[in-house]
């Protein structure tokens, strides 16, 4: 029996693995392990949409992923799922490469032991993620958490690999991708929802990240089907 990963887009699912029971909500990841009994233990109320993939692996690195967790950057994972679906008809090598990228992104977001220092950084990053629709900057974050702005940026870079300014911009771009993929909001509305008061600046930043305009990005994989 293969392993299975589910990434929830909308609604709630109630899934059991042996004796463990999980409520899987939007932006959650569930890893169902091979050789265990899986079943739904309650009926979902309302619409449900999700990505899923079966796979085989012996990699201890990937098998160390948590069984159930909330994704810090759900749009990145959703994009990789779309790419996996897009290449699945081209051959096993392309599909395997896309799956490896997906598993690596999940490992990046969810792997690693928790320490006091990265717990503080995680708290900072969660606050940023919640306030991305506001015009926050490094100074605002530093004041909120009572840190010097140079120190807090270095602390974030030590744990996340990028400085605070870049982390904020990465988060805004990730939020933009998520809204472009999963809503019918206009590009201007999405720019505002991602904390950009300057629409033209949003367009420039997005093209720097993706190499295409937001409208082109939205329509690039528009025909990819979802489970629902």
Domain limits, the chain: 3-110, 116-220
pLDDT computed for residue 166 by the predictor: 93
Tell me what the mean pLDDT of segment 187-199 comes to: 95
Q: Whole-number mean pLDDT of the chain? A: 86
Instruction: Report residue 14's pLDDT band, with 50, 70 and 90 as the boundaries.
Output: very high
pLDDT computed for residue 115 by the predictor: 55
Report the candidate in 168, 222, 227 with the shortest Cα–Cα distance to residue 195: 168
**Three-state secondary structure call for residue 36:** coil
CATH number belonging to the domain at 116-220, selected among 3.20.20.70, 3.30.300.130, 1.10.3720.10, 1.10.10.60: 1.10.10.60
Rounded Cα distance, 72 and 203, in Å: 24
pLDDT tens digits for range 47-71: 999 999 998 877 766 777 888 888 8
CB atoms within 10 A of CB 152: 23
CATH class given for the domain over 3-110: mainly beta
């Amino acid at each position: 029996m293969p392993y299975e990963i589910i990434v929830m887009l909308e609604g709630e699912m109630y899934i059991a693995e042996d004796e463990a029971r999980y409520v899987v909500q939007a932006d959650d990841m569930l890893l169902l392990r091979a050789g265990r009994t899986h079943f739904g233990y309650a009926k979902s109320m309302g619409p449900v949409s999700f990505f899923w993939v079966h796979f085989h692996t012996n990699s201890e690195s990937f098998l160390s992923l948590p069984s159930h967790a909330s994704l810090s950057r759900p749009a990145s994972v959703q994009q990789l799922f779309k790419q996996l679906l897009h290449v699945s008809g081209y051959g096993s090598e392309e599909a395997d490469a896309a799956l490896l990228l997906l598993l690596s992104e999940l490992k990046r977001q969810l792997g690693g032991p928790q320490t006091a220092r990265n717990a503080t950084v995680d708290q900072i990053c969660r606050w940023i993620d919640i306030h991305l629709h506001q015009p926050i900057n490094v100074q605002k974050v530093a004041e909120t958490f009572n840190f010097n702005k140079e120190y807090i940026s270095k602390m974030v870079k030590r744990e996340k690999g990028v400085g605070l300014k870049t982390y904020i911009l990465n988060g805004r771009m990730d939020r933009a991708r998520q809204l472009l993929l999963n809503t019918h909001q206009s590009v201007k509305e999405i720019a505002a929802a991602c904390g950009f008061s300057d629409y033209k600046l949003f367009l420039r930043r997005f093209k720097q990240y993706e190499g295409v305009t937001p409208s082109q990005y939205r329509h690039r994989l528009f025909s990819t089907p979802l489970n629902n």
